[in-house]
Structure 1
Amino acid sequence: MWWIFALLSAFFAALTAIFAKVGIKGVDTDLATAIRTVVILLIAWAIVIFRGGEWSVSGLTKTNWIFLILSGCATGLSWICYFKALQLGKVSQVAPIDKLSVALAIILAVVFLKETLNIKQIIGALLIISGSIVLIFA
């Protein structure tokens, strides 16, 4: 079942690139990121409230808070850079290079989370890295 959500994530990420490229034309990318963030904030809280999850906020630990805040900071910085890249480059180049984050996440998971990789994961990460290099210099 996880792969269905992963495919949906990829589909919506692809739409994000297309919609953003049109939406940022002639707009400050930081403003565009702020608008996008407000929309995401409203949708995320609507889902939490609809599912009754707002009451579990009190159960979050200090570690939960720290790492969720750090994750939010990383996400915000990623979006700011992504929108600027989209404004300056082509979606067909920016979006695939942005997905280099997949290979970087694999590497960081091995280093910091001590995850182990099989040969398929290693080959997949190397292919992503290789493809990104090709697109950068294309």
Structure 2
Amino acid sequence: MQLSRTQTFFLLTFLVAMWGVNWPLSKYALEFATPLLFAGLRITIGGLILLFFALPRYRNLNLKRTWHIYLISGLLNIILFFGFQTFGLSMMPAGLFSTIVFMQPVLLGIGGWLWLGESMNGFKITGLILGFIGVAVISLNDGSGHISTIGILLGLASTITWTFGTIYMKKTSAKVDALWLTTLQMIFGGIVLLIAGTTVENWTDIVWNQTFISMLSVIAIFCTALAWLVFFLLVRSGEAGKIGSFNFLVPLIAIVISVLFLGETITAKMVVGLILIIIGIALVNLKMKSLQKRGKHRAHPL
């Protein structure tokens, strides 16, 4: 299905907005739930919602020959990514943590060069350097008590697993159906997270009030299931490459919402680090976007 420019614009806007609000919403929801159980709930619910859209495409499943792809992808993109992400988010401001995680497009530049045969150029090198300097600036502890070293490490771990998961998805994209891959990795990863959470956490620690149920519903439906479904539509239409160019807006949205609604503060150190990271990501994506004009056949999923 080929999308019009208007449809593409609205889908990209929706996707970036959902990824942006996801961080402060998840941060707030963690006040009512433990990390692993919360991650397992949002992912499992999101996967079951996507299953509704995937079932009509059951002929594309081919589970006997591709089961290992679903498992590996689920491990990297769901279990490790959301596991590290949820624990790290409970230790740091939502906007700041999202900035670290959304260095993924920069790290993907390295992975694409090493394992996907993509070129390494001046734009990418400069962007990578600026991105890592930005994280270093943010990570400098000024004694304010707002920066958690463990939280930063978990953010970087989340970014790295997402990067490897994305590279693996790109390398195996011709062997599996994108919607089924997204659906099954969510269901598989969500169940594993729920089992792990049940082992080390207590369901009784979850505060099942109206606020938490509302937050969980919004995050699972809009920030997880529908956001991934939109991503799938963009991939099918050949517009996935544009997503990387818009990624740098996600931390900005997360920080603005966190400041307005969660009472988080912005320090000069955070602003400097954020600017460096945004410039780095923009430089990487700028060159990648120009390269796509010469190779439109190449997809660039997140």
TM-score, length basis structure 1: 0.73
- What is the number of equivalent residue pairs in this alignment? 135
Report if the CA contact (8 A) 2:248-2:278 is conserved: no
Match of 2:256 in 1: 107
- What is the aligned-residue identity percentage? 20
RMSD over equivalenced CA pairs, Å: 2.9
**Larger of the two Rg values belongs to structure:** 2
Q: Secondary structure at the match of 1:111?
A: helix
Aligned-pair CA distance for 1:38: 0.9
Give the C-alpha shift of residue 48 in structure 1: 1.2
Is 1:64 the equivalent of 2:212? yes
Deviation by residue 1:51-82 (Cα, 9 ceiling, x = unmatched): 1423434x322111111221122122333344
1:63-110 Cα deviation digits (max 9, x unpaired):
1111122112212233334455566456xx855753542232112212
Distance 1:117 1:99, change over 3 A: same
Q: Hey, what's the Cα distance between the residues in 2 that align with 1:60 and 1:131? A: 41
2:185 maps to 36
Distance in 2 between residues matched to 1:63 and 1:51, nearest whole Å: 24
1:98 to 247, 254, 263: 247
Mapped partners of 2:204, 2:258: distance in 1: 31
4+ residue segments displaced more than 6 Å = none
TM-score (norm. length: structure 2): 0.38
Match of 1:119 in 2: 268
**Partner Cα distance (2:248, 2:165) in 1:** 13
Quick check: 1:110–1:116 contact (8 Å CA) kept in 2? yes
Asked whether the equivalents of residues 33 and 79 of structure 1 are also in contact (C-alpha less than 8 Å), the reply is: yes
Tell me, in whole angstroms, the C-alpha distance in 2 between the residues paired with 1:99 and 1:33: 23
The structure in which a higher percent of residues are helix is 1
Is 1:24 matched with 2:169?
no
Q: Quick check: 2:259–2:265 contact (8 Å CA) kept in 1?
A: yes
Q: Which has the higher contact order (CA 8 A, sep 6+)?
A: 2
Q: Which runs of 5+ in 1 are unaligned?
A: none
Distance 2:168 2:260 in 1: 35
- Contact kept in structure 2, 1:17 and 1:95, CA below 8 Å: no
Q: Is the 8 A contact 1:103 1:128 kept in 2?
A: no
* DSSP-derived class of the 1:68 partner: helix
